[in-house]
Amino acid sequence: MRAYLLILLTTSFLLPTIAHAGSKDADGDGFSAVHGDCNDENASVYPGAPELPDGLDNDCDGLVDEGLNYETDCNNGIDDEGDSLVDCEDPDCSTEAGCQDADFDGYVRYVDCDDDNSMVFPGADELCDEVDNDCDSDIDEDPFHGPIWYEDADGDGFGNAEDEGIMACEAPSGHVDIHEDCDDSNPSIHPDADEVCDDEVDNDCDVLIDLEDDECADFDADSDGWPEREDCDDNDADINPDAEEICEDGIDNNCDGSIDEDCTRADTADPDEDSPSSGKDEGSGCGISSTRMHPGPWIAWISVVVLFYRRQQPEG
- Give 158-200 pLDDT, tens digit per residue: 999 999 999 999 999 999 999 999 999 999 999 999 988 888 8
Work out the end-to-end distance of the chain between its first and last CA atoms, rounded to an integer number of angstroms: 220
Q: Which residue has the higher pLDDT, 182 or 212?
A: 182
Q: In what order do the strands lie in the sheet with 148-151?
A: 166-167, 148-151, 175-176
pLDDT winner (highest mean) among 12-26, 155-169, 214-228: 155-169
User: Residue 220 pLDDT > 90, yes or no?
Assistant: no
What average pLDDT does range 7-29 have in this prediction? Answer: 62
- What's the mean per-residue pLDDT of the chain? 80
Specify the DSSP element, H or E, that contains 17: helix 2-22
SS3 127: strand
The CA-atom distances, in angstroms, between 206 and each of 180, 246, 266, 312 are 10, 41, 47, 98
Residue 282's pLDDT band, with cuts at 50, 70 and 90, is very low
User: Residue 222 pLDDT > 90, yes or no?
Assistant: no
pLDDT of res. 291: 44
User: Residue 71 pLDDT > 80, yes or no?
Assistant: no
Residue 298's pLDDT band, with cuts at 50, 70 and 90, is low
Contacts of 172 (CB under 8 A, 6+ apart): 149, 166
Contacts of 52 (CB under 8 A, 6+ apart): 44, 58, 65, 68, 82
Distance of alpha carbon 118 from alpha carbon 107, whole angstroms: 9
User: Residue 15 pLDDT > 90, yes or no?
Assistant: no
What average pLDDT does range 108-131 have in this prediction? Answer: 95
